[in-house]
Chain A
Amino acid sequence: MELDLLNLESSALSQKVNSIMELNKTSAGFGLELTEKQALELVQHHAKTLRVSGRVEFGEGIMKKLIFAFCDSSFIVPSRYENTLEELMDSFYYLKNESKDGLSDDELLEIMEKLYNGKCQGSADYMREVIYIWLRSRSTLEIPDAEDIFYAEYESRGMDFIEE
């Protein structure tokens, strides 16, 4: 028996869309909301991302945690909310694979959130690059502060970091 990629059944699809729409109640407080169409696109993008990253997801999935972690970010512009969530989702699964599952979902989300809202100033690409470089040079299982992860990227480029 092979694990088989199938399209989501309509009931499961609407269930997912509904659960994302539910999260609007929380994110609306920060000026971020998704329309039903956007929520549907996000669910479809999620399925595609999983397929591309070669992963299988069980249980509640990562979407809810991702939205909770980032909905209070001052770097997310309402008009790009859906796109930003897609970028963050792509980064999440990419980094999950790169970490060889050595980071739990919560650990990775925490690092992402701190860097995105901190040193990377709302750049998902930069955040992904910084974490990727840290993962590559990681020699212990210990997880440093987000700042140390950021410095690791500087060191890898051979740049002297001058503390402000």
Chain B
Amino acid sequence: MKNEIMGSGSGNNKDIAKTVINPHEISNGEIWELLQQQVLKYTGADSCSVPEEVAQQLLNSVLYSLKFGALHGVDTQLPAKQQLLLSQQKLVLETERVKGLYSLARCETPYAGNVYFSQTMQELGIWINLYDIRFFAQLPPSGIDYQLMVPVRETLQGVEYAAAYLCGVLAEIKLAACFAPSLLVDLFDKWMPEWPDLCVNLCEPILTCGLGCTVLDRSPNLLSIDDEGRNRLWELLRTSPAEQAEKRMETAVAQLLNQLQIWPENIRGYFKAQIPDLLVRIRNTGESGWRKLFIQLGPV
């Protein structure tokens, strides 16, 4: 890895930082040349200078593209210019994949009754159409207000963020699709009557009640837990030792997904990853909140 600060080539007033550019075998001088080429394209060769913020964004875009390319099989021994071109082609392919994920996520789902969910999906659609691989590849979608059960890593950028978010949405939609929409609306109404206007995750009550049914060895299909079931769950999950409760939940999530015939490993992993956090919330809930956690549906 070359770590030297290269001369500013054509005599520019600035150079780029001393930071090494992992994992690419590209020197700072080559990066500077790529940046120069990008600035030329960006200004349409009309201007030889740009505001510092623009230069920084263009540099971030170049670095993000190269990193993405390297992670997706672009040969890092190639000249930097060629690497950038191939990386941008990979980004185009990934954007196409994200478009596919987006059309899948636009299916009918009870989540769409929530204003934050529907607005977020709209914003994502706009972002996908405007995604600028050439100059601002690193920018993630803005206007993502609907929070997933498993938040997307903040370190993800650009199209990778959109892909991770949409994978989360699709996993949550998959779970919702196992139940009748009217049942879910009933569940949401009883869980939080203002759910259409609140910035809340709607998959969580489904998973919680589904797991509750499974822990009780009941069918999860109706998602309903009566007083007797709630009392039993209090013993099994709330007052029992934490490790026992965690084991029960881990077993329950696998059983639940089996019963609902959700087989893809990535989706199963998505829900399994949620168990520790969900258990903390369950064990921190007092008696008064317990009824809101494990809900009885239908006429009480």
A interface residues, Cβ below 8 angstroms from B: 1-6, 8-9, 11-12, 15-16, 19, 46-47, 50-51, 54-62, 93, 96-97, 101, 104-106
Contact = CB atoms under 8 A, between A and B. Distances in A.
Contact of B13 (A15, A57, A60, A101): A57
A156 to B, nearest CB: 26
Nearest to A4: B17
Given A58-B40, A59-B12, A60-B48, 20 more contacts: A1-B31, A1-B60, A2-B19, A3-B14, A4-B18, A8-B11, A12-B9, A54-B51, A54-B53, A56-B12, A56-B39, A56-B52, A58-B36, A58-B48, A59-B36, A59-B48, A62-B49, A97-B51, A101-B47, A105-B48
Contacts of B21: 1
A1 B8 contact: no
Nearest to A56: B55
A4 B7 contact: no
Contact of A61 (B12, B16, B40, B52): B12
B5 interface: yes
A87 B209 CA distance: 72
Interface residues on B, range: 20 to 34
Contacts of A104: 43, 46-47
B63 interface: yes
Looking at A9, A12, A16, A58, the one whose CB has the most chain B CB atoms below 10 A away is A58
Interface in B87-119: none
Contacts of A93: 49
A19 B12 CA distance: 13
Interface in B1-37: 5, 7-19, 21, 31, 35-36
Interface of B: 5, 7-19, 21, 31, 35-36, 39-40, 43, 46-53, 55-56, 59-60, 63
Given A2-B17, A4-B16, A57 B63 contact: no
B13 A47 contact: yes
A61 B14 contact: no
A56 B17 contact: no
B49 A3 contact: no
B179 to A, nearest CB: 48
Nearest to B7: A9
